[in-house]
Structure 1
Amino acid sequence: MRDLINTLDVETGADALATTAGLAAFAHRHGLTEPEAVKRNLPDIVRLREGLRAACLAHTGTPVPEEALAELDAVLRRAPLTLTLDEEGTATLAPADGLTDVPALTARIAAAVAVAASDGTWRRLKVCEAPDCRWAYYDRSPAGRRRWCDMAVCGSRAKMRAYRARRTSGARGGSGTPGRT
């Protein structure tokens, strides 16, 4: 999931899925063997990526826009899952029989989300709150309340912007400006 979300670097605009080489590398890493099918289904891959980005951003407190949810739901509906049980009674979600390439990838991601949701780790997969970043990361903090992928970069920028905004609004209002009476 995180690998797919991070194929787009929001800050630079570099999209690994936008180039033939990048798309081929992604396809190879994820076992997608039909290059033409991958190209043909690229809009669904991008919708899946952006829907997952929106869902993971919600884990930091930003609600998922209805349009993003509808797009994500539409992509996920085309990749059904099957529940199987083994001899020991262990349940496993897997792509439905007959799914290949992009629908199979989508189903594998959906199964991973379902498992992560059941064990509580799904809410820890987050997207950086910084609008110029939006990088996916796993929140390993004890309280699970991180909002930025990197406190030293994105967190510092956000806190500096907030500080400057407070200083600017304080200066305009006249009161609250340090050293003035």
Structure 2
Amino acid sequence: MTVSTAHQPETEEDRPAWARRPAPGRLALVQQFLNTHAYPGHDDDFACAATAQTWLRQHIPAAQIAPDADPADYRRLRDRLRDYVRGPSTLADSTRLTRTLGHPPLTVDMSATGDITLVSAGSATEWLSGEIAAALVLAVADGSWRRFKTCANDECQAIFWDQTKNGSGRFCTPEICGNRFRQRHFRATHPQAKTAGDTPSFRGA
């Protein structure tokens, strides 16, 4: 798959906090899609047709992109997938996600060494739904899907890949979101701490 790399962050400092601990393999695209929502310093990538086209050109094979793709379709898929990550999901949640994913065209590709891969096809929406569906099935089957977490910092709520050994991570970056979350909690429980200088710095996952 060849996609444009224009406008992609070039340095570690430029990357969003959640992207500094990316999900492995095929799940990386799923994580990038999950984090197209609006958060401080970042507008919704699917707010309108123009921004949607920009994101699609950077992540989807050019042959699959239709100029009239409806951003609402992508927002709906993203938001239901984010709900699924948050969990615990109900049968109704799972049904809505299944219906939103639809029936993307997937083909089976077998290599000379016997490795089997599910390959996406179709329009941009179908291709992305297929990539997500294939990655989701494999990640749920091997248990790795549980490594996707929603950042506990309410101002962020990015979907991050929990790299802790025991799966106890709560923040996309403990040193950024974790520290901000604990500082807000400290100020809320210590109203006499009026300034940032009065608020201690915290560390931890």
> Shared topology, TM-score over 0.5?
yes
> Does residue 10 in structure 1 map to residue 54 in structure 2?
no
Shift in Å, 1:84:
4.6
* Partner Cα distance (1:67, 1:14) in 2: 29
- 1:137 aligned residue (137, 149, 160): 160
Instruction: Point out where structure 1 has 5 or more consecutive residues left out of the alignment.
Output: 169-181
SS in 2 for 1:8: coil
Asked if 2 retains the 8 angstrom alpha-carbon contact of 1:82 and 1:93, the reply is yes
Deviation track 1:96-132 (CA, whole Å, cap 9, x = no partner) reads xx62221121111111222223344322122212222
Aligned with 2:99 (options 74, 78, 82): 74
The residue identity in structure 1 corresponding to 2:56 is A
For this pair of structures, how many residues does the alignment match?
A: 159
Match of 1:117 in 2: 140
Bigger Rg, which one = 1
Q: Does 1:50 align with 2:79?
A: yes
SS at match of 1:16: coil
Change (3 A) 1:65 1:15: farther
Q: Does 1:156 align with 2:185?
A: no
Q: Distance in 1 between matches of 2:149 and 2:91?
A: 18
Q: Measured at CA, do residues 99 and 123 of structure 1 come closer, stay the same or move farther in structure 2, by a change above 3 Å?
A: same
Unpaired segments ≥5 residues, structure 2 = 1-29, 192-205
Supply the distance in 2 between the matched residues of 1:54 and 1:47 (Cα, whole angstroms): 11
| Aligned sequence identity (%) | 28
> Is the Cα contact below 8 Å between 1:27 and 1:35 reproduced in 2?
no
2:123 aligned residue: 100
What's the counterpart of residue 67 of structure 2?
A: 35
Match for 2:148: what amino acid? L
Distance 1:66 1:148, change over 3 A: farther
- Once residues 119 and 65 of structure 1 are traced to their aligned partners in structure 2, the CA distance between those partners, rounded to angstroms, is 21
> Shift of the alpha carbon at 1:28?
0.8
TM-score under structure 1 normalisation?
Answer: 0.71
SS of the residue 1:94 aligns to: strand
More helix, by proportion: 1
